[in-house]
């Protein structure tokens, strides 16, 4: 019994000794100084023509801690007066004293903040230094007046290329990745879609990325929608016309569907009974109806293959179009249309209609009164 008591006593004493040592081993982190941030301009007008050039250059100093610890830096932008309730951010190195943000980077950040383009807006900027997911320290806040631009969707959405023997007749160049139609990724998620126009039956094509032949992909030979990089075969457009193509670049799958568009509706001369077809113009790379009479008492829509599975419409409600004013149009089969809206004109008359389908992230429709 005495031995049991001695063993118990030794265990208790050992526990307290270890506990005291663990307490002594704990390190207290002291925040010695805040980070600091400065910028070379107090105002900037962003310019898409020099999108990849530096628009603002920052200098900064990291916060200091004792002992030294590793942390991650981000620069945060927010609309002035919002107390950084919504931010747009970019990663900043710990190891440098300066960094720059390009016109494109800043314009994208303004879009993230829902800042309207073409109007100067005061933007607050700070450096965030994060020790972990819950602990962060902030620099001083600086303010810059920024004027953003409406971005060109050709520059901000990822794309792949569709070179082939058909491309020259469509206004591009045959078998030239840098001068071929593109499929864009509206979701920036490696899923690409878009249209190509083919004039000759049995025209062949492939898929490339970065406007080069490196890493090009073709069919695996089974013609079942599977892509491969090696031992591939060219895809083939069996008939002349327009094709709607979807490619999952990572999953190596694709699908192709014919999509020959026309306009239909009770605002058109043939009503809902038949379509007036578009003609592809290789010079403008757009689909055109050069002259059609439209009434101002009905609506019209743009559908493919004389069917309703694929049609271009406004996003949610009937839209009245102004002459000569380009508007964004949406493809119902992409899930971008709510309801079954159509287009209208406020003035009856003879019109030219033009569909620009070269970028699936921003289909564009223009009608012009003749």
Distance CA 177, CA 194 (A): 16
Joined together, the tokens standing for residue 113 give 């903040």
Q: What is the pLDDT of residue 14?
A: 47
Q: Average pLDDT for residues 215-230, to the nearest whole number?
A: 96
Q: Average pLDDT for residues 342-351, to the nearest whole number?
A: 97
Q: What is the pLDDT of residue 2?
A: 46
Where residue 16 falls among pLDDT bands split at 50, 70, 90?
Answer: very low
Q: Average pLDDT for residues 74-84, to the nearest whole number?
A: 96
Q: What is the pLDDT of residue 29?
A: 81
Return the residue matching tokens 């207290």: 28
Q: What is the pLDDT of residue 18?
A: 45
For residue range 52-68, list pLDDT tens digits in order.
Answer: 999 999 999 999 888 87
Angle CA 313–318–321, to nearest 5 = 80
Q: What is the pLDDT of residue 167?
A: 98
**Under 8 Å between Cβ of 159 and 185:** yes
For residue range 163-222, list pLDDT tens digits in order.
Answer: 999 999 999 999 999 999 999 999 999 999 999 999 999 999 999 999 999 999 999 999
Distance CA 77, CA 49 (A): 23
Q: What is the pLDDT of residue 27?
A: 67
106: left (phi over 0), alpha (psi -120 to 50) or beta: alpha
Return the residue matching tokens 């300066």: 98
Q: b or e along 298-323 (b: 16 or more beta carbons within 10 Å of the residue's beta carbon)?
A: bbbbbbbbeeeebbbbbeeeebebee
**Under 8 Å between Cβ of 323 and 354:** no
Instruction: Identify the three-state secondary structure at position 365.
Output: strand
What separation in angstroms does the CA of 205 have from each of 65, 261, 297?
Answer: 59, 22, 44
Return the residue matching tokens 């270890």: 18
For residue range 281-293, list pLDDT tens digits in order.
Answer: 999 999 999 999 9
Domains along the chain? 30-151 (2.60.40.10), 154-258 (2.60.40.10), 261-369 (2.60.40)
Q: What is the pLDDT of residue 11?
A: 47
The mean of the pLDDT values for the chain is 92
Question: Partners of 331 in the beta sheet?
Answer: 312
Q: Which of 296, 299, 324, 328 is nearest to 314 (CA)?
A: 328
For residue range 256-268, list pLDDT tens digits in order.
Answer: 999 999 999 999 9
Asked if the model's pLDDT at residue 249 lies above 90, the reply is yes
Joined together, the tokens standing for residue 82 give 């919002």
Asked if the model's pLDDT at residue 158 lies above 50, the reply is yes
For residue range 34-53, list pLDDT tens digits in order.
Answer: 889 999 999 999 999 899 99
Q: Average pLDDT for residues 7-32, to the nearest whole number?
A: 55
Q: What is the pLDDT of residue 65?
A: 86
């Amino acid at each position: 019994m005495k031995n049991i008591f001695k063993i118990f006593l030794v265990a208790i004493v050992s526990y307290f000794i270890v506990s005291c040592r663990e307490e002594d081993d704990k390190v207290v982190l002291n925040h010695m100084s805040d980070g600091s941030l400065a910028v070379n301009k107090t105002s900037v007008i962003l310019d898409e023509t020099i999108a990849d050039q530096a628009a603002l250059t920052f200098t900064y100093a990291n916060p200091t801690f004792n002992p030294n610890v590793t942390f991650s830096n981000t620069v945060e932008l927010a609309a002035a007066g919002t107390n950084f309730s919504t931010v747009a951010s970019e990663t900043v190195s710990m190891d440098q004293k300066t960094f720059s943000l390009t016109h494109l980077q800043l314009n994208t950040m303004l879009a993230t903040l829902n800042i309207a383009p073409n109007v100067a807006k005061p933007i607050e900027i700070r450096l965030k230094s994060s020790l972990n997911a819950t602990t962060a320290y902030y620099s001083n806040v600086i303010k810059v007046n920024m004027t953003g631009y409406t971005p060109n969707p050709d520059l901000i959405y990822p794309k792949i290329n569709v070179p082939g023997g058909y491309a020259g007749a469509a206004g591009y160049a045959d078998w030239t990745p840098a001068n071929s139609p593109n499929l864009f990724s509206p979701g920036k998620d490696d899923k690409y879609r878009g249209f190509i126009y083919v004039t000759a039956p049995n025209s062949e094509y492939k898929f490339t990325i970065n406007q080069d032949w490196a890493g090009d992909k073709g069919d695996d030979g089974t013609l079942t929608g599977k892509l491969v990089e090696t031992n591939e075969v060219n895809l083939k457009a069996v008939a002349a016309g327009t094709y709607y193509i979807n490619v999952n670049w990572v999953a190596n799958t694709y699908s192709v569907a014919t999509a020959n568009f026309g306009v239909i509706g009770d605002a058109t001369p043939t009503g809902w009974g038949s379509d007036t077809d578009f003609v592809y113009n290789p010079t403008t790379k757009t689909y055109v109806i050069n002259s059609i009479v439209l009434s101002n008492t009905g609506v019209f829509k743009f559908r493919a293959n004389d069917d309703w599975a694929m049609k271009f419409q406004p996003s949610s409600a009937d839209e009245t179009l102004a002459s000569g004013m380009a508007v964004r149009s949406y493809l119902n089969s992409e899930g971008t249309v709510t309801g079954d809206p159509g287009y209208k004109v406020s003035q009856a008359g003879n019109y030219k209609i033009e569909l620009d389908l070269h970028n699936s992230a921003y289909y564009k429709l223009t009608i012009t009164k003749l």
